[in-house]
Amino acid sequence: MLVNLEINKENLRKNLKKIRSINKNIICVIKDNAYGLGIENILPILLENNCNYFAVAYIDEAVKIREILKNFEKEKKLGFLENKKINIMVLNYIEPKNLKYAVENDVELTIFNFSQLSNYLKILEESFENTVLKIHIKVNSGMNRLGFNESEILELIEIIKKYEINSKNNKLEIISIFSHISDAENQIETEKQVEKYENILKIFDKNNVKYQYKHLQASPLLFKYGEKYNYDFARVGMALYGMEPLSYDVGLFDVITVKSQIINIRNVKKNDKISYGSKGIVKRDSKIGIVSIGYAHGLQKQIENSQEAYVLVNGKKAKIVGEICMDMIFVDLTDINDVEINDEVVIVGSQRNVENGTQKKITLRQVARWVGTIQDDVLTKFSGIKKQ
């Protein structure tokens, strides 16, 4: 593949430092294959920087982390890991058939409704003896996605009391009670959600439920309110990878660069058509470059509807023109001198203009605007690109 994605380790480290300057206890969110960047690429960087708590979406991802750690131990690659416990929590749903793996490999699960809890308890009672499942209880503070409502907490506590650690059944160890904020930049909504979360915690406390931690922050809440909602952990994803979590920039460092190459150049006349369909009518005599990236690599087709979208060639803007193809795009090179086949094209990231030494940059946020989506969507779509 001519397309590749580079991960800037040093900038990821700087983002980590920035995050830690607000909350030093973080659960690094590497769900959905580390937002498309590859758990195998991101995990070692985080481990080297002393991260030891990770959140994933699926059991397979927890399996992958445990396997990577085993290999590291075998190869004695990360000596400092030796006495360090690595915690893994799963944020999404785990099918009951995978419970065995979670228990055997010390994977902590999120419990978010009664049917899930009773299915797990049934398996724990039938198939495991003297086994404790580590759980995080998710409560609904207003997003209405996963989590127990305030009105369900007493019923939940009744079940927990029967199974909690050191009770007669001794099946559940509650690691945390947590929630997720849906609209951090809306202060009124956020305060309501925090209040709801606090009220729910009070119910657990009043009933003497034993749990270790509370956590509420994801990247937006952390950067919007600083230490105010620190609790015991921040669960951070997007900020690690350099995506700006708020509508204004908080000064994170760019972690990814997506690059390709020009594979063909041709001259076309005013009013000639380019690419599929008839939308791509050239308005002047033009030099058109064909770049080896398309929607199969995750450059979303909707970007063709933007009048502004461009890539960088020789450190200059080259507009994306015509319809996006599966593995190629058309760019306007008319105003760029000295371009040749095989020249580098930057789709996300920085490139230097050789003539005057200046840097030009395309951010994930910019691409998201052109496509009409959010940065996380742009980034995860690049999951199939080879990483460097």
Q: Which residue(s) pair with 332 in the sheet?
A: 288
Q: Using CA atoms, how far apart are residues 51 and 46, in angstroms rounded to an integer?
A: 5
CA distances from 101 to 56, 98, 105, 291 (A): 15, 6, 6, 45
Q: Using CA atoms, how far apart are residues 291 and 294, in angstroms rounded to an integer?
A: 8
CA distances from 237 to 26, 120, 247, 320, 374 (A): 10, 28, 17, 30, 14
Q: Using CA atoms, how far apart are residues 138 and 111, in angstroms rounded to an integer?
A: 6
Measured over the CA atoms of residue 8, residue 14, residue 19 and residue 24, the dihedral's sign is positive
The least CB distance from residue 215 to ligand PLP, in Å, is 8
Give whichever of 146 and 313 is closer to ligand PLP, judged by the CB atom.
Answer: 146
365 marked ligand binding residue: no
Give whichever of 136 and 171 is closer to ligand PLP, judged by the CB atom.
Answer: 136
- Give me the residues that bind ligand PLP (CB under 6 A), please: 29, 31, 91, 180, 218-220, 235-239, 245
The least CB distance from residue 367 to ligand PLP, in Å, is 17
1 marked ligand binding residue: no
Give whichever of 325 and 374 is closer to ligand PLP, judged by the CB atom.
Answer: 374
Q: Count the residues in the chain.
A: 388
Give whichever of 251 and 357 is closer to ligand PLP, judged by the CB atom.
Answer: 251
Measured over the CA atoms of residue 190, residue 234, residue 245 and residue 30, the dihedral's sign is negative
Give whichever of 61 and 304 is closer to ligand PLP, judged by the CB atom.
Answer: 61
The least CB distance from residue 243 to ligand PLP, in Å, is 7
Give whichever of 3 and 45 is closer to ligand PLP, judged by the CB atom.
Answer: 45
The least CB distance from residue 241 to ligand PLP, in Å, is 8
Q: Using CA atoms, how far apart are residues 229 and 315, in angstroms rounded to an integer?
A: 42
The least CB distance from residue 347 to ligand PLP, in Å, is 22
Closest alpha carbon to 312 in 242, 262, 381: 262
Nearest residue by C-beta to ligand PLP? Answer: 237
The least CB distance from residue 245 to ligand PLP, in Å, is 6
Contact 317, 299 (CB under 8 A): no
- Known binding site for substrate: residues? 145, 326
